[in-house]
Amino acid sequence: MKTKDNTVTRTRDVTISEDFLNKIANKNIEDLESSSLFLFPPKVSEADDLDASHFVMMANTDEIRTTNVMGVIGYKNERLFIGSRFDEGNDYFFYYLLKKVLNMNVINTEVNMEHQSDFLELLIPLFPKFLNNAMKKGLYKEYKVRHHNEANVKGVIDFKRQLKENVPFLGKVAYNTREFSYENHVIHLIRYTIEYIKRRKDLRKVLYMNDVTKENVHIIEENSLEFNSIHAAKVIHQNIRKPVRHGYFFEYQALQRLCIAILRAESNYFKKDSNNEVFGILFDGAWLFEEYINTLIGDHYIHPQNTKGIGRHYLFNDANGLIYPDFISRSGINRKIADAKYKPINNIRGRDYLQLVAYLHRFEAAEGYFIYPLQKSLNKKGEKTLTLLSGVEETSVRDPNVKVIKYGLGIPSQESDFNTFEEVMLHEEAKLKITII
């Protein structure tokens, strides 16, 4: 079945089975999220716009309703593809977002999210980005106990092993040391994944797509010399039992989950007769659109991130009123605030206005922007300027220099191929940059 986010479908038009529907409908994402179902951003509990109270789909006897989630989700031999509501007749905008944010090209390869029967090919193109993000923190290391038996004692004596191995005494002492090591279950899991991708002639090019990825692959190979392919299943289960929990290595947690999913899929874990596990890859539309806007204006705007605790600000003294504006201009002259909204212009109201006005006041900014997707086929004006009123009578303008602008990023709809769509999008992006930078 194919549908779009935030869309209502009458029950008579639903083409997935009731069994599949019961697995995913009216269930919050926190219950569905697992090493078999990938969600972006990686941890639902840390997402700004998608919390555990959200659903992939809501259903009753008359209709089903999708939410802000896009992607592909499968169960046994069925697939549900959820595209973007801002696409018309194709899924180019959704694919374009994936390409820009995650470097995930599902147009110019054999991968196609709508028709792909096995989602393994959707996961492998994500591996370089996750690997490179994790490696920015350096190699993941853990304490490891090493056993020694020699005359030069440098650790804690192991009396049990001493009695077993060194009686009668011949000058050697059994002792143990506890030291940091890169030879651990997480690094070995990454190495197994690299070795598997290398065997895929159709997809192994992702490991050599740029110098950063090639260098990081090389570093992993140099620091996983103790790995052995016959222990792959053991390492996978060890990583499932021992997920990365240290906050500093948050990026490794996401990489770990991706590697588990790839290797489990490689071992036919998701064959339709293997189990009743829901699997797939889903994206929070609001997060995806916000990260896309960041690729366009990130050089000129600070992008605070709630999930990583980056760029936190407060409304009041003594660290009260924690806030995370989407974008704050880096220049202190004529400060600007921008808010990415993955919804139509008429749905930007109430709470959205209150939030942006508070940010304008807090950061002494004169201009605030709502950036939203605008379907060009609607032939509507994509920009609307609002001024703040003053007084009970609602007739006078508080300050004509303080403005809130709704800016619609034009989304093409009539293009016959992805390359043409991309060209038009680049033109629309250039207009956005001129306006808000």
Q: State pLDDT tens for residues 154-176.
A: 888 888 888 888 888 888 988 88
Residue 424, pLDDT > 90, answer: yes
**222 vs 226 pLDDT, higher one:** 222
Residue 322, pLDDT > 60, answer: yes
How many other β-carbons are positioned within 10 Å of the β-carbon of residue 159? 10
Please tell me what DSSP assigns to residue 60.
-
**What are the C-alpha distances in Å from 397 to residues 311, 357, 364, 388, 432?**
32, 14, 17, 6, 27
Mean pLDDT of the chain: 85
DSSP-assigned beta bridge partners for residue 408: 372
Average pLDDT over residues 211-226: 93
- For residue 99, the number of C-alpha atoms closer than 13 Å in the C-beta half-sphere is 18
Peptide bond into 168 cis (omega under 30): yes
d(CA 73, CA 278): 7
- List CB contacts of 170: < 8 A, sequence separation 6 or more: none
Average pLDDT over residues 411-434: 92
Q: State pLDDT tens for residues 264-311.
A: 766 544 444 445 678 888 889 999 999 999 999 999 999 987 656 677
Token pair for residue 356? 């942006």
Q: State pLDDT tens for residues 90-108.
A: 889 999 999 899 877 766 5
Contact predicate 263/196, CB 8 Å? yes
Q: State pLDDT tens for residues 39-50.
A: 777 654 444 454
Contact predicate 134/118, CB 8 Å? no
Q: CB pairs under 8 A, 24+ apart, for 220-228?
A: 220/131, 220/139, 220/187, 220/190, 220/191, 220/194, 221/191, 221/194, 223/139, 223/182, 223/183, 223/187, 224/182, 224/183, 224/187, 224/188, 224/190, 224/191, 225/183, 226/183, 226/188, 227/188, 227/191, 227/192
The C-alpha angle 329, 335, 340, rounded to 5 degrees, equals 50
Beta strands in 54-133 (DSSP E): 57-59, 63-66, 69-75, 78-83
Please tell me what DSSP assigns to residue 87.
-
DSSP-assigned beta bridge partners for residue 338: 327, 369
Q: State pLDDT tens for residues 129-139.
A: 899 999 999 99
**279 vs 363 pLDDT, higher one:** 363
Contact predicate 177/155, CB 8 Å? yes
